[in-house]
Chains A and B, each alone.
Chain A
Amino acid sequence: MIYIIDHKDSFTHNVVHQFENFDNVCCDNFNEINESKLDKANVIIFSPGPGSPKDYPYSSKIYKKFKGKKKIIGICLGFQQILYCEKGKIVQQNKIYHGYQSKVKVVSTSKLFKKNQKFTVGRYHSLKLQEPFAAKNFEITMRCDISNIAMAIENNKEKIYGFQFHPESFLTENGNLLIKKILSA
């Protein structure tokens, strides 16, 4: 079972709909977590959402509790939530991407995707990861083709994955393929 933590976003149910293609999904608001379902889940997903990771201390707590024990996936804010918990700095960017379609490129560190492969993706983010960023077992595996901003992370050892873009958006081509790869990783 996949447990999705909803940060009260208006895109979360696209994520639910997408993951339902692969497994049973349970989705609750970040402030109404069902602990026993969370315990039973084998994958935890941190949803997109408004604001910044520091606004969701309980999601950070869940991340730290289950890191290394369950597969964890973060999307947009959820991606930032993971990085924030790994001591990454999440900052405002000059150019803001809301409803924006752009190309991301796989970099050499990825174990799941082919180097230099490009994906067309939908983006909705005001904030980004400030670099340099380094955390044990974490690699930045996709970057914006133009701005070079970090767009995906992999931690294949502890099975933690994240996308700054939205694989569930209609603006993303092959979104299901991306999800399938990380779910079977």
Chain B
Amino acid sequence: MTKNYLKEIARSKKPFIIYKSEKGFNLYTNFSKKIILTNKNIQNFINNVSKNKLKKKNTDLFIGFFGYEILNNLIGVKLKKQKDINFPKGIFYKPEKIIELPNKLIYIPEKSIKFSKNFKINLNQISYSNIFNKFKKKIKSGETYQIKICTKYKNASKIDALDFFCRLTKSNIAPEAFMIKDKNYSIISCSPENLITKKGDLITTKPIAGTLKKSKKLNKIKALEFFKRNIKETKEHNMIVDMERSDLSRICRAGSVKILKKKTVEEYKDLYHYVSLIGGKLKRKVSSLDILKAMMPGGSVIGCPKISTLNLLNAQEKEGRNIYTGSFGYINFNGDMRFNIIIRSILNYQNYSEISVASGVVIDSNAKHEFNENYIKAKALMDLYR
């Protein structure tokens, strides 16, 4: 049934979205509304979605994404003019049909598309090191404590997004994986990071800070020992935990913000991650907009403190991040929501693919190591182009 359905939806050319669920995946389609977000309509959009306070049908929701720029603007951070591909700042869809899919997605493309395997990087190691050293000075003067430099890998080719997504999830089932296929663009992501899970008055966030490349000698227990012994990874993680506690404290009742899982290890295809889970109980009069403004853009992919670090980043980065470090997810009509952080993703637009990755600069990081960490993160996605 799944097999046929994926074939059918691919053949129909209808736009659709797939998002990881607890049991497998959910496929959203038959969109009755499509809202392209701008700085003008975003606040109204967010406020109106959950105005009814009722969720009668399982399709009573809007699903889509916020790009990085619009999330900056939402909290009053302005970006100067960057090199831009004119990709929308955010798009949300109202589905009329949801189909449950199992974890194993099977889809065989009807015709194979040849694509280029060559990726161009927008920052070579020398320019990366220059930016890196600039930011280290800013850390010494206290303007930032941790900052993430973004690098982009680009490639000109048409892709079959569904085929990519199915192959990606075969080797790597990430808890926040999703794909969007619309007429003029597609997004494929194996994001591991949940930014907001809100049910009733409970909210949690699950930041990742700390990455370790897999090897034959390692297992989960050894990876945990590595993270615990490694002072640099520990400090980086501590900072993110305190920052997320603070973001939650903006919207949660006094004394309710708690670290629910402190410093655990999660295993993925090529790497291990150092993860914590933090939660709280929402204050009574908090709106959906308040929640998004407190939590977005997700701190673990920006650095700390958020505002001053965003300003430093935006002054430095010459190319728009587009979807990268934005957020994908849904808001139900009753105000419940789930959003991830868009990382480990491919944006395919106008027959160009871009894969963005970032890793953190703290006082004792090493430019070469971080540059290579970026490559490891991008590799799992670049491997799909063959």
A-side residues, CB < 8 A to B, are 8-14, 16-17, 20-21, 49-52, 77, 92, 96, 98-101, 122, 124-127, 166, 169-171
Contacts and interface: CB of A to CB of B under 8 A. Distances in A.
Q: B interface, by DSSP: helix, strand, loop or mixed?
A: helix
Give the interface residue-count category, chain B. Answer: 35 or more
A17 B246 CA distance: 8
Contact of B238 (A9, A21, A49, A171): A171
Contact of A92 (B141, B146, B234): B141
A14 B305 contact: no
A126 B144 CA distance: 9
A152 to B, nearest CB: 19
Given A11-B242, A11-B305, A126-B145, 9 more contacts: A9-B305, A12-B246, A50-B142, A50-B308, A98-B139, A98-B363, A99-B146, A99-B235, A169-B242
Contact of B145 (A12, A14, A124, A171): A124
A10 B141 contact: no
A99 B308 contact: no
Given A14-B249, A98-B139, A124-B145, A170 B305 contact: no
Contact of B299 (A10, A12, A16, A124): A10
B245 interface: yes
Q: A interface, by DSSP: helix, strand, loop or mixed?
A: mixed
A122 B259 CA distance: 16
Contacts of B235: 98-100
B247 A10 contact: yes
A9 B143 CA distance: 10
Contacts of A10: 242-243, 246-247, 299, 304-307
Nearest to B252: A17
Contacts of A170: 238, 241-242, 245, 259
Contacts of B252: 17
Contact of A98 (B145, B249, B299, B307): B145
Contacts of A51: 141-143, 308
- Which 5 pairs, one residue from A and one from B, show the smallest C-beta to C-beta distance? A99-B235, A20-B254, A126-B142, A99-B238, A13-B249
A119 to B, nearest CB: 17
Interface in B213-242: 234-239, 241-242
Contact of B242 (A8, A122, A126): A122
A118 B248 CA distance: 30
Contact of A8 (B140, B238, B299, B305): B305
13 contacts: A8-B307, A9-B305, A10-B304, A10-B305, A13-B249, A16-B250, A17-B246, A17-B254, A21-B255, A99-B242, A126-B142, A166-B242, A171-B242
Contact of A99 (B141, B239, B255, B305): B239
